Amino acid sequence: MSTSVGPRANAARAGLHRGLIEFRASMGNAQELVFGYLLFPVLFLGMAFFLDDGESEGISAGMGIVFTGLVMLIAILGVTTTAQVLATEREDGTLLRSRAVPHGMVGYAVGKAVHIMLMSLFALSVMLVPALLFIDGVAVQGWSGALTLLWVTLLGLVALASAGAIMGALISNPRMGVGLAMLPVMALLGISGIFTPMEFLPGWVQGIAMAFPVYWIGEGLRAALFPAEALAAGEFGVAQLPLVAGVLALWAVIGFLVAQGVLRRMARRTSGSRVQAAREEAMKRAY
């Protein structure tokens, strides 16, 4: 037992270090930072600031826009960013080099998780912190609300990142990866009560929405951001946080197990010749 734990632990530590290095590199890459992580939060902040007019059931328009933006950002970063990064690094040979190192896939997975999680938290902070300071009606409901916001965000990102990893392993063209990954994400956002009240949707559509993490991320964020009286008076009622935690944890565990199998299969099928062919195909698309 000890002979297997040591190398895996070392690989995990190396992955943690790698993730921190990649985070610092992303923070220093202006193009990646602006178009990958800042554009969306700034867009929603602008909408919340200029359209902050009126109130519905005790919730300001600005709060509604910020809430929608946070859920969308978690979903997009968790699924599409993970899928795009994985598909791209399979094509450029990064994954193949990781596989050549003992327990390299462990370090790779840890590094990607740390990198994407830190960048996601940064992007969410860019949206939430200015909103708390400058937009009327935007507030976290005390320390319990802040704690709820943190664990729902982290657990939601983990649950969705597993789905993104599976998509990234199956996507053959990274350029098409973002578009393909966005389709199911936008469909789930559309039926999960983020844009329109759930009561307007057929019962079977509501059932589908409640089977996926996006709906429960929305439920958790409402509990963290919306006043209790507004929740009780509105269509959502009192948030069921134990159920939110259970569903997101279940998705995280099942998704991780499935993703591990898919990634191992993808790693076995990745070879130098495949990477070279992918590079040549990418050069043809570029020209």
Dump pLDDT digits (tens) for 186-241. 899 988 888 877 778 888 898 999 999 999 999 999 889 888 776 665 555 566 88
Dump pLDDT digits (tens) for 102-135. 777 777 778 888 888 898 899 999 999 999 988 8
Separation between Cα atoms, residue 248 and residue 236, nearest integer Å: 18
Q: How confident is the model at residue 183 (pLDDT cuts 50, 70, 90)?
A: confident
Burial of 79 (0-12, 13-18, 19+ CB in 10 A): buried
Cα distances from 280 to residues 88, 91, 105, 160, 286, in angstroms, run: 14, 10, 25, 32, 10
Count other C-beta atoms under 10 Å from residue 61's C-beta.
18
Q: Where are the beta strands (DSSP E) in 113-190?
A: none
Separation between Cα atoms, residue 83 and residue 95, nearest integer Å: 13
Separation between Cα atoms, residue 89 and residue 57, nearest integer Å: 47
Mean pLDDT, the chain, as a whole number?
80
What's the pTM?
A: 0.84
Q: Domain spans of the chain?
A: 2-286
pLDDT of residue 57: 62
